[in-house]
Amino acid sequence: MDKLKNLDGQLIVPDPELIALFLVTAAFVAATSVFVAIRRRRPMPVAVGAAAFVGVAAYWVGLFYLSEFSAGLGTLLGLGVIGVACGWAVKDDLTSAEALAVGLGCTLLATLFGFIGSYLALASFLVAAASYPAVRLWWESRRSLAATSAGLGALLVASVVGFGMLRS
């Protein structure tokens, strides 16, 4: 437990705004997962949503604390999860090579925007990856990819603007 304390002996805790971002992102992914599971008639949709919430919350907490001790490992964890989540979201609609390209492209974009928009950019990718299966319920894959990509672009721009406002 001593490793989770700063030099003054106080427990390292994220800012309230960061905690809110973590919880809202986890709640969005969980709600989207429940919705998609219900529409696809999957068993135990609430368990799917709970698992999604716990998984995203654990990702955020792990990323935050790992970044406190090693920025490089935190960055690798953050980008790796984003790449896998984005590739996994589209794997049913694309070939393996195309899904891999989507995952790598998201990893590269997350790298670029992560330096500019920090945690907000990572949240944008999680929201887009969770949104794609929901959008896919109504539209074919091309339109779904286009809509989700446009949404991701808007979220990334908002993350850069928001991060700039937080910094000033």
Q: 36-64 pLDDT, tens per residue?
A: 999 988 889 899 889 989 988 988 888 88
- What value does the mean pLDDT take over residues 112-129? 79
- Residue found under tokens 């990718």: 125
- Nearest alpha-carbon partner for 119 in 73, 168, 159: 159
Output the pLDDT for position 34. 92
Output the pLDDT for position 166. 65
Q: What is the DSSP letter of 3?
A: G
| φ, ψ dihedrals at 11, nearest 5° | -65, 135
Look up the domain containing 76 and give its range.
2-167
If 0-12 CB within 10 Å is exposed, 13-18 middle and 19+ buried, where does residue 95 land?
A: exposed
How many structural domains is the chain composed of?
1
The fraction of the chain above a pLDDT of 90, given in percent, is 9
pLDDT level of residue 152 (50, 70, 90 thresholds): confident
Work out the end-to-end distance of the chain between its first and last CA atoms, rounded to an integer number of angstroms: 34
Output the pLDDT for position 120. 80
| φ, ψ dihedrals at 136, nearest 5° | -65, -20
The pLDDT of residue 29 is above 60:
yes
Q: Lowest-pLDDT range, 32-36, 79-83, 96-100, 108-112?
A: 108-112
pTM: 0.78
The pLDDT of residue 2 is above 60:
no
